[in-house]
Amino acid sequence: MSNEEPEVYEKTARSTVNRYRPRAKYDHETIHGIIDSSLVLHVSFNPTSIDEDPFPTILPMLGCTGSYTADGAEETSATAIYLHGHIASRFMKLPNSPSVHDQALPGVPVCVAATHVDGIILAITPFNHSCNYRSAVIHGYATLVEDPGEKMYALKLMTDNIVPERWDNSRVPPTEAEMKSTGVIRVDIVSASAKIRAAPPGSDKTDVADEETRKRVWTGSVPTHIKYGTPVPAGENVKAEVPNYITNWISEENSKGEIYSRKIVS
Amino acid sequence: MSNEEPEVYEKTARSTVNRYRPRAKYDHETIHGIIDSSLVLHVSFNPTSIDEDPFPTILPMLGCTGSYTADGAEETSATAIYLHGHIASRFMKLPNSPSVHDQALPGVPVCVAATHVDGIILAITPFNHSCNYRSAVIHGYATLVEDPGEKMYALKLMTDNIVPERWDNSRVPPTEAEMKSTGVIRVDIVSASAKIRAAPPGSDKTDVADEETRKRVWTGSVPTHIKYGTPVPAGENVKAEVPNYITNWISEENSKGEIYSRKIVS
């Protein structure tokens, strides 16, 4: 499919980036990549249970993009974000709250954001200080996944999205009690955009022309990435060696993060 | 003031943690510490400009807690979160949007979240997989800072919150044009809570009793922290050496992150 046009999300008033437009991206690959490589997602929604409370709220959650088909057929691109949590949590109860149905919406309107900070940018003046980052913001309707096949698909997807191959290398399938107490939410994506800054500092010409200030102010970038440390075995662990799928995942993540954060400022 | 009771946020229906209650914290020190050490904040609000749009939105922003007094008197604890952005951005225009005043609210109702991921927790079964994390969620009213003294205070605070001493070691004060095009928002905190997981994996007794599975499944923790890399000078930089306040900041952040993420699982 490499000769096809890349799939993109339609620009809407909600999703169009207004500031620094060249930093904006709307293609599925970029947006899904930012979400799936993010260790945590921030999910925002308006609580319905607290009467007249004007505040939206944010929960940090784990999840990733996916696309389920009952017959196992492969889709060209993900169409949803899966999230999970305990069935008794406030968020998991939302899709069945009356106010959602009152409004005749196809689910709870939510926003999901993922952000990687790739470096600190130190320019001559604080005004030009910045960060390198990759951020994705998605809007969609959240519903509770009821289909047992889809629920199992999503749990495996989310587990392996954090550590590849972990599902098959753990005690599976989940017990009936485990499945019952785990809630899976699917956010059907309605609109989405990404914004990326990946560059060294930029300073104004007048500041660069000021030799005295330049002698005094160090300017440059400090790359940042998530460092995965040496694994620490649990008390109950009896395997003498950390398996290859774990050590490979750690070294790949570390080198990816280190190389990217440095490359964009060099 | 060390012999006084720690200051805490009152528990409200909005802020009370319902799941895993022992993980919850309500004291200022913990909550402000999580926000101020976070490289990025996620800010959620309901757009007022897009008619009848049901979706809240999230923006990744930079900021920190602070407390401004015109006479420079020190407060015992921060009372607000300061955020900044370009004056023309959508978020900066919100406090002056008509709908805020229609509702007679003291500002735009927003939620600010900060999350650190401190490790990946691999238990015997995916159900018991988890993350170590420190997260803070704050609700408050956002208004635009108009007072020039407070605006300058906030800009210095936010700059030095990322790199200590950077403000005085850069070209300051900002020009009039720079001040005009930078917007500062103050979020007066209404309610807040934090949630922390800082422990090795926990597995169910029946899984631990299953010797065959334990021989097959590696269990343990992979600590994670933000790694600050070697500084990369900008093309315009003429200072031969990276100043001490930068190298000290980098090594302190790195050792703090590495030590904490490892300690909690050892």
- Provide the pLDDT for residue B1: 43
Going by C-alpha positions, the residue among A63, A64, A144, A140 that lies closest to residue A109 is A140
- Provide the pLDDT for residue B71: 78
Report how far Cα A83 is from the mean position of its chain's Cα atoms: 11
A 39-98 near B (Cβ less than 8 A): 39-40, 42, 44-47, 50, 53-60, 62, 86, 88-90
Q: Do B228 and A232 touch (CB under 8 A)?
A: no
- Given a contact cutoff of 8 angstroms between Cβ atoms, the answer to whether B23 and B17 are in contact is yes
Nearest chain A alpha carbon to B253: A224
Q: Do B231 and A220 touch (CB under 8 A)?
A: yes
Going by C-alpha positions, the residue among A37, A68, A104 that lies closest to residue A187 is A68
- Confirm whether B31 is domain-assigned: yes
Q: Which residues of chain B have pLDDT under 50?
A: 1-2
- Confirm whether B1 is domain-assigned: no
- Confirm whether B25 is domain-assigned: yes
- Confirm whether B9 is domain-assigned: no
Q: Do A18 and B89 touch (CB under 8 A)?
A: yes
- Given a contact cutoff of 8 angstroms between Cβ atoms, the answer to whether A32 and A11 are in contact is no
Q: How close B50 gets to chain A, by Cα (Å)?
A: 7
List, in order, residues 6 or more apart from B179 with CB less than 8 Å away. B148, B151, B152
Going by C-alpha positions, the residue among A64, A43, A86, A181 that lies closest to residue B135 is A43
- Confirm whether B5 is domain-assigned: no
- Provide the pLDDT for residue A253: 98
The answer to whether the bond into B173 is cis (omega within 30° of 0) is yes
Residue B164: which CATH number? 2.30.110.10
B 201-260 near A (Cβ less than 8 A): 201, 203, 207-208, 210-211, 213-239, 242-243, 246, 250, 257-258
Please tell me the total count of domains within chain B: 1
Q: Of B14, B40, B171, which has the smallest distance from its Cβ to A124's Cβ? A: B171
Does residue A22 sit in helix, strand or coil?
helix
Instruction: From chain A, pick out residues whose CB is under 8 angstroms from the CB of B242.
Output: 218, 220
Could you give the residue ranges of the DSSP H alpha helices within A74-163?
90-93, 98-102, 148-162
Does residue A116 sit in helix, strand or coil?
strand
- Which whole-number Å values give the CA distances from A22 to A122, A142, A170, A220, B53, in the listed order? 21, 30, 44, 22, 26
Q: Measure CA of the first residue to CA of the last residue in chain A; give whole Å.
A: 33
Residue B205, domain extent: 21-263
Mean pLDDT, contiguous 10-residue spans, chain A (266 residues): 74 84 91 97 81 86 92 74 86 77 82 98 95 97 94 97 97 94 95 96 90 95 98 95 98 98 97
Six token digits for residue A85: 């949590």
- Confirm whether A156 is domain-assigned: yes
Q: How far apart are CA A252 and CA A250, in angstroms?
A: 6
Three-point CA angle A45, B114, B62, nearest 5° = 105
Q: How far apart are CA A103 and CA A110, in angstroms?
A: 14
pLDDT digits 0-9 by tens, A98-144: 666 667 788 999 999 999 999 999 999 999 999 999 999 999 999 99
- Provide the pLDDT for residue A3: 53
Q: Do B227 and A222 touch (CB under 8 A)?
A: no
- Provide the pLDDT for residue B3: 53
A 108-127 near B (Cβ less than 8 A): 109-113, 115, 117, 119-120, 122-127
Q: Do B200 and A234 touch (CB under 8 A)?
A: yes
- Provide the pLDDT for residue B49: 52
pLDDT digits 0-9 by tens, A249-259: 999 999 999 99
- Provide the pLDDT for residue A1: 43
- Given a contact cutoff of 8 angstroms between Cβ atoms, the answer to whether A97 and A49 are in contact is yes
Q: How far apart are CA B67 and CA B90, in angstroms?
A: 25
Nearest chain B alpha carbon to A127: B178
Q: How close A71 gets to chain B, by Cα (Å)?
A: 24
Q: Do B40 and A262 touch (CB under 8 A)?
A: no
- Confirm whether A4 is domain-assigned: no
* H-run or E-run covering B160: helix B148-162
Q: Do B125 and A171 touch (CB under 8 A)?
A: yes
Q: Do B47 and A129 touch (CB under 8 A)?
A: no
pLDDT digits 0-9 by tens, A133-160: 999 999 999 999 999 999 999 999 999 9
- Furthest-apart CA pair in chain B: how many Å? 71
Instruction: From chain A, pick out residues whose CB is under 8 angstroms from the CB of B155.
Output: 126
Q: Do B170 and A126 touch (CB under 8 A)?
A: yes
Contacts across the A-B interface (CB distance below 8 Å): 331
Phi-psi region for residue A220, left (φ > 0), alpha (ψ -120 to 50) or beta? left
